[in-house]
Structure 1
């Protein structure tokens, strides 16, 4: 990952002994025993690890490694990126396959992503190159986020979301110039399931992953009609149930295909914000079976953060998963190295500049906690 780190911001980060992954003897592959009928004829055995060292590969990196690149150029870029990651013991990659109602894979439902301008399949190349190195690949999707208003006008008329917009259906709403699925309708949940289904059926992925874009807006007008028709009286509770409903639908979709595959969720690290701004019931997902296999809170805070100091916030998440229903992976933020943190308060504002070893120390803290790994966002 040395090249990744250099590109991100930090010169000396992750080169120390503190950067090493969890011991190899404890990073054993998880292979669950039961396989449903739908997967009996599959020869592929998913690769997943008891102790995860994850890395996100977000769509914001795609202009650099994909846009304007030939298939061979893209494959070379991915190979180098993964080799750097493997050298630092990364064993799990979250690849951004479906970031905004689009597809960085072969899809019969969604249009190609903006940065995919070559005639090749990025998802397949990533899987091929990652599996050569023993790296697990989880297809990362954003369930509700769609294209901007201008982008939508450029898409084919037969795109299902474009049809919904043209027909005035309530399933999609525009928020500040970008379209989003409204999760209160079964039609939108079915479309989310279809996106997951394409990945499961057409690729040897090892899991599915979603992050913290759970609800498009806190504005009461966003889904007022659906709320009023629901008969519910508590908007917050109703929206929270809507989110849990589609989260469970994804989990069930994954497990119905192959119980050995994993489903992971990466919510905001601030638990209160998960509820107040995202309607994400992280306490329930972390303590009840049937919502996820692993949870990766984005603990993108320094030790001196005045709102959510790292050690205290990590301990809060440890408490949430204490019953052992799900695996806790700590999401870390090397992208912040060398940057001012304007949301950290006076005490933590310059911590990421003045303390270049902050990620090393956070990894050490995670290893001494009850968490089962960490994941890095550059």
Structure 2
């Protein structure tokens, strides 16, 4: 009897389940085809949707025409793009200061045709000096040079915060670069934000507007810095990097040295004290190291989730001592392990005769801690001190080498000679476009003429880059 009752219950449940399925998936034209062909389609890898990003997109698309025109894409939507990178990177940094007059004129965004012509001119100029890569600033102050669901349009592009662009300038810069075989790396500053006055101008749809007056933003020397002790703050920065790789055919994402800015305990003292309750041995250095390590590894993983061929690199300040005492960047961990970086590019803006941080000495110190063979080593270089020397100013921090750039016009040539001979040398980046060319007229800068002429061969003929990805 019990066995009969059990069979009866199973029969009833099966009948009810089949009836419910018929109502939800009726047969006929409106039904689901469970043929083998349809089954194959259903078994395909499911689409992953970034719901948080989509919600942010919906908040801004009606206001931002350029964002609406670009549309929303799923995670990994751009995974099939094959990044263009070279075995010897020969890059030029294009900062916000270089191109602000290119982005806007007469207090408004330049016309698309004017902007495109100036970009074409800049790239053609760089090709004459052998450059094969540009590192273009797209986020200097927790803002954006492209339509973003996370960050407001930058005043370097539109002259003023609170505005929206008529077109997408970064799309043009990427397209024009690739037409010339130039690799494009998007450059972001992770923690440095805008002034409090500018912060008040941004649209309420951006997440940072929700953080005004909270511990997640800290004002220092008239700028607000993002407090990466908070997970959602780190996630904002990570989302911004993902957004770039997902929506644009960039070949790399690049960060420089705007991390922490000295001990400034007020910045994160409450968060540090709370963390120390769980670990009494925790120092401020270890606390900040961990926060920044989580951010850097998070960005790396997010980029690779979007496109494995896109590189992630960092250009920290050349003074290695400042990494632990000022910026709190745990570069030793980054450079000895996988999962943080594809390349390191210390800013070795020093002459050959600098008393404490000469170019050769700085190169060797950074090279010694880059122990992971999967991480490429490059040099950050600059015409900045050549410009200063032309104007009669020496390097005030160089000690006995203060007048090296004034008395010699081959400092960069000798630096190239040293670096190119090293087995681990994988390229360089030169700061910056404006030091070499006028962004509007395109004319070469006479202030660096002698220094440039002496190192021109190294920049054009001797170092040849071949595509590796």
TM-score bracket for this pair, using the shorter chain length: 0.7 to 0.9
Superposed, 1:234-245 pairs within 5 Å as: 234-245=283-294
Distance, in Å, in 2 between the alignment partners of 1:291 and 1:341 is 37
1:336 aligns with 2:385: yes
Query: Among 125, 150, 172, which residue is 1:84 paired with?
Result: 125
**Offset of 1:206 from its aligned partner?**
0.8
Query: Among 91, 111, 122, which residue is 1:54 paired with?
Result: 91
Distance, in Å, in 1 between the alignment partners of 2:236 and 2:185 is 19
Query: Among 127, 143, 146, which residue is 2:193 paired with?
Result: 146
Query: Among 319, 328, 348, which residue is 1:299 paired with?
Result: 348
1:348 aligns with 2:401: yes
**Offset of 1:344 from its aligned partner?**
3.0
Deviations 1:324-365 (A, max 9, x none): 131001000112214234433342212122212211221221
**Offset of 1:257 from its aligned partner?**
1.1
Query: Among 262, 273, 277, which residue is 2:326 paired with?
Result: 277
The match for 2:8 is none
The match for 1:71 is 112
Cα separation, partners in 2 of 1:40 and 1:222, compared to 1, 3 Å:
closer
The match for 2:12 is none
The match for 1:112 is 153
**Offset of 1:198 from its aligned partner?**
1.5
Deviations 1:181-224 (A, max 9, x none): 10111010110011112211111111110000111442111101
Query: Among 168, 172, 175, which residue is 1:128 paired with?
Result: 175
In structure 2, runs of 5+ residues without a counterpart are: 1-47, 49-74, 159-164, 433-469
Distance, in Å, in 2 between the alignment partners of 1:74 and 1:40 is 28
The match for 1:164 is 211
Q: 2:351, 2:359 within 8 Å by CA — same for their partners in 1?
A: yes
Deviations 1:155-195 (A, max 9, x none): 22332112111xx4321111122111101110101100111
Q: 2:349, 2:380 within 8 Å by CA — same for their partners in 1?
A: yes
Deviations 1:125-157 (A, max 9, x none): 110111011111111111111111111122223
Q: 1:180, 1:216 within 8 Å by CA — same for their partners in 2?
A: no
Distance, in Å, in 2 between the alignment partners of 1:226 and 1:43 is 41
**Offset of 1:115 from its aligned partner?**
2.4
1:371 aligns with 2:449: no
Q: 2:83, 2:250 within 8 Å by CA — same for their partners in 1?
A: yes
Task: Point out the more displaced range, 303-312 or 40-49.
Answer: 40-49
The match for 2:136 is 95
Q: 1:366, 1:374 within 8 Å by CA — same for their partners in 2?
A: no
Distance, in Å, in 1 between the alignment partners of 2:204 and 2:338 is 40
The match for 1:360 is 413
1:220 aligns with 2:265: yes
Distance, in Å, in 1 between the alignment partners of 2:78 and 2:183 is 21
Query: Among 361, 373, 389, which residue is 1:324 paired with?
Result: 373
Query: Among 172, 186, 192, which residue is 2:237 paired with?
Result: 192
Cα separation, partners in 2 of 1:306 and 1:55, compared to 1, 3 Å:
same
The match for 2:306 is 257
TM-score of the superposition, structure 2-length normalised? 0.70
